[in-house]
Amino acid sequence: MNLSQFRQRGSILVLFAITLPLLFLFSGMAVDLGYVYVQRSHMQNSADAAALAGATKLNTSDTAAGEFAQIYLSQNSTAADSGQSVAITYPHEKDLKKIRVEITEDIPLFFFRYFGYNTMSLSVHAIASCASGSSGDIDIFSYSMISGGDSPFYLLGEWGSGSNHFNGPIHVNGKFQFDKNSESGHGTDNIPGSGNTITSPISISAAKYPIGGLDKPANQVLAKNFTYGTTKIDITENNPTIKAKIDALTNKANTFSDSHPANVWGSIDVGKLTTPLYVTGNFGSGNNAKNIVSGTYNNNVTIVATGDISLNFSAASFSSTATVTLISLTGNIFISGGNVVNLNALAPHGSITVNGGGTTLNGWILGQSITLGQGSRTYANGNWKGGASGSGKISLIE
């Protein structure tokens, strides 16, 4: 062995002695930082899930939203999360309700503890929002009602009697009143009685105005449900969404006549309507309604008429999977009887009158004017993601 080879071997030993501590240092740092990264990802996922879950309850109450967020935090927690600190706040902005979930935790360190650092403090947060349901946030067929004309809309009909529940968004192009009695300023009928509930947003195109008999505008009575100055919604065929719906449901090949299989004297056997029915002229009119033949029906029923549609549902029952859709192209729609579940009604140039009660009308009612008769009903719309709890449009925004 010559001297130069001995010197090279000595240099390698010196280099190894110098780099070995650095290798241990970087390996230890990788272990700690990798563990911190994994824990932070877990904390962020938990915060995101909790915020989104809580946002679905914001239109119920902040308390309900916080409790629901805590449930999701518990479901996503592990033994390593026992030292977490959670703060839930509600930074609402105008019509946008928010819930903020912040998680703070001291993450244990394994390598850096030898240098006096036992833990690293981490903090993550997530913010989710619930839109109030203005006209820009809801699809036109997600509204439970749209009163498209300039005439007054009476939420509770003539006198506001019965126990009515409104669980789907409502839009009014014209003037809004609780009922005709309140418009005259009579007593406590100016606001819904205890038997009536409104858990859905109401958007009104008109400017603020006093409800009859009250000295303050309606938005001070039920502020969380009312939005003023919203854009008018066109429910005529000028609206391409409305036109597309009418075109899709119009079937002139199945035109009603005296010899039609579903035709019964003064009545209609809707069980034989397996495809959309097209009617030229009126299909019943006003109080002279066509009765639906007594029975229980599981099939969807679609009737498109160029004139009025007037149907009495008193003797018929529909399953929860069946949907009744009525479209009057130029006339009015008159619905009586309580045994309807899933109902869609569209009168792009006319009025819609709903009489009777005792059940849920789940779907959309879109007319130039809408009259709700006496009785107790629940008006909802399953297309609205808020459903009965009024959750609105949920988004993770931060």
DSSP result, 221-252: TSGGGEEESPPP---STTSHHHHHHHHHH--T
pLDDT at site 267: 93
How many residues are present in the chain? 398
Domain definitions of the chain by residue range: 3-131, 140-389
pLDDT attached to residue 226:
72
The three state secondary structure string of 144-212 is: CEEECCCCCEECCCCCCCCCCEECCCEEECCCEECCHHHHCCCHHHHCCCCCCEECCCEEECCCCCECC
Burial class (CB in 10 A: 0-12, 13-18, 19+), 73: buried
User: Residue 303 forms beta bridges with which residues?
Assistant: 277, 326
87-119 as b/e: b if 16+ CB within 10 A: ebeeeeeebbbbbbbbbebebbbebbeeeeeee
| pLDDT, averaged in runs of 10, over the chain (398 residues) | 53 64 66 79 86 78 82 75 84 78 86 75 88 57 92 75 80 82 54 70 74 46 64 91 92 94 92 94 87 91 96 88 94 86 93 82 93 80 59 68
pLDDT score, position 358: 67
* pLDDT given for residue 204 in this prediction: 84
pLDDT at position 248, please?
A: 93
What's the whole-model pTM score? 0.63
pLDDT at 79: 61
User: Are residues 147 and 369 in contact, defined by beta-carbon separation less than 8 angstroms?
Assistant: yes
pLDDT at site 282: 95
CA separation for the pair 375, 367 (Å, rounded): 20
Burial readout 300-311 (b: 16 or more C-beta within 10 A, e: otherwise): bbbbbbebbbbb
**Which of 119, 164, 170, 111 is CA-nearest to residue 145?**
170
pLDDT at 159 (0 to 100): 60
**Residues of the chain by 3-state class (helix, strand, coil), percent to 5:** 25, 30, 40
Query: What pLDDT, in 10s, does the model give residues 38-79?
Result: 888 888 888 888 888 888 777 667 887 888 888 888 877 776
